[in-house]
Amino acid sequence: MEAGESNSGNERRIISKDSSWFSQFRNASNPWMARYAYALIFLLSNLLAWAARDYGRGALTEMKRLKGCNGGKDCLDAEGVLRVSLGCFIFFMIMFFSTARTSKLNDVRDTWHSGWWSVKIALWVVITIIPFLLPSEFIQIYGEVAHFGAGVFLLIQLISIISFITWLNDCCESEKFAARCRIHVMLFATTAYVVCLVGIILMYIWYAPKPSCLLNIFFISWTLVLLQLMTSVSLHPKVDAGILTPGLMGLYVVFLCWCAIRSEPAGGSCIRKSDSATKTDWLSIISFVVAVLAIVIATFSTGIDSKCFQLKKDNTPAAEDDVPYGYGFFHFVFATGAMYFAMLLIGWNSHHSMRKWTIDVGWTSTWVKIVNEWLAVCVYLWMLIAPIVWNIRHIGST
């Protein structure tokens, strides 16, 4: 029996190495290829949710079960998004429970993860339709739960980004690359700080043109304070984390601040917008398409980064038949990502009317990004000072 399983695993590896990408996909022999199929399913769900929001009102109003929507006719748009999101969430949760803790390539669950595409596509279609048969009250409850799920996705993404930044810094400071990367580190760090300062200056010019723009002035000024705080803590002798990580984190928090202010509703005198801001133009369409692709890419890249969430690091080299990434974590990230894209398309408010070709606009969206920015700084600072705190506690206990 064991010999048979071993031969099966060897056959799969031979197929994976020698066959075309289509053969690998068809024979369920390449879990790396499977990621792109799941990303495509996720992208299609995003597009369906967008279509339900912007163009589905005529079809949705014909469904009697939606007449009890608490938000009136504008809520139909949000309900369509939430129903598609619920279907996507259920699909990836099924995949999560059926592939969690898979460790070997010749496991049956590995074959299910990397193959059986006709069955999974049919399953996705059916599960996408089912939420449209559910009562409006249930969808409203899901909408409230999706706020929490989207927050979990943002936290996972945040930790993944910070872990990547610290990993990059550790590689540059390692004995193998320290001498070679010294000039590159200084160049990248200097460039990051220059971009941060230029970004802050431009935000003052574009989004705080008047002294009465107190909220935007506060957002931008506090971002500058946080940048200085991260740099000071990172360069403290007891921390000595270098100058690269606070520079890259500065880029991230400045970007979050910019996105937050851009999410403020149109009409205020503190944000310079063109006279055609209320109309749909090519720039709005391009911005929307880029935003949707960014959601898919962010979910895709975060889903394969399960190692940064391991509490206990395992330096044991991976065996040849070990799975290349955590399947369960991958699907869990996509499940929470389904809740996240729903929140972006409805502006984090199921009773908020969104203009066509817009995404993540509204005061709720603004504050979600601002809180995410502050949380990012807190998590980063904690990762810097946590080893010192634990050492002090350990010395005190002994």
pLDDT of residue 91: 96
**How many domains does the structure of the chain reveal?**
1
Q: Evaluate whether residue 314 is within a structural domain.
A: no
3-state secondary structure of 347: coil
Write the DSSP assignment of 234-280 as a string of letters: HTSTTT---SHHHHHHHHHHHHHHHHHHHTSPTT-TTS---TTTTS-
- Point out which residues pair with 104 in neighbouring strands: 322
Task: Give the distance from CA 216 to its chain's centroid.
Answer: 25
Nearest to 42 by CA among 285, 273, 294, 384: 294
3-state secondary structure of 55: coil
Q: Evaluate whether residue 5 is within a structural domain.
A: no
Task: Give the Å distances, CA to CA, from 6 to 106, 114, 116, 342.
Answer: 8, 18, 21, 44
In one-letter notation, the amino acid at residue 288 is F
Which domain range does residue 370 map to?
27-265+281-305+321-392
In contact, 352 and 120? CB cutoff 8 Å? no
Q: Evaluate whether residue 1 is within a structural domain.
A: no
- Point out which residues pair with 322 in neighbouring strands: 104
For residue 271, report the phi and psi dihedrals to the nearest 5 degrees: -120, 120
> Average pLDDT per run of 10 along the chain, which is 398 residues long?
44 47 56 87 91 71 49 60 93 93 84 89 94 86 92 88 83 72 85 94 90 91 95 88 89 92 78 50 66 76 63 60 84 92 86 73 88 93 86 70
CB neighbours of 72 closer than 8 A, spacing ≥ 6?
A: none
Q: Evaluate whether residue 141 is within a structural domain.
A: yes
Maximum pairwise Cα distance, the chain: 77
CA distance 116 to 124: 12
Q: Evaluate whether residue 21 is within a structural domain.
A: no
Residue-wise pLDDT for 219-248, tens only, equals 999 999 999 999 999 988 888 888 889 999
pLDDT of residue 61: 55
Q: Evaluate whether residue 397 is within a structural domain.
A: no
pLDDT of residue 226: 95
pLDDT of residue 292: 77
pLDDT of residue 216: 93
pLDDT of residue 283: 59
The two counts, helices (H) then strands (E), for the chain are: 14, 0
pLDDT of residue 190: 92
In contact, 8 and 106? CB cutoff 8 Å? yes
CA distance 43 to 98: 22
pLDDT of residue 59: 59
CA distance 37 to 332: 16
pLDDT of residue 72: 42
For residue 171, report the phi and psi dihedrals to the nearest 5 degrees: -65, -40
Q: Evaluate whether residue 276 is within a structural domain.
A: no
What Rg do the C-alpha atoms of the chain give, in angstroms? 24
Q: Evaluate whether residue 120 is within a structural domain.
A: yes
pLDDT of residue 202: 93
In contact, 232 and 178? CB cutoff 8 Å? no
CA distance 167 to 186: 17
pLDDT of residue 71: 43
CA distance 12 to 142: 41
Residue-wise pLDDT for 11-41, tens only, equals 444 444 445 555 555 555 578 888 888 989 9
Q: How many residues does the chain have?
A: 398
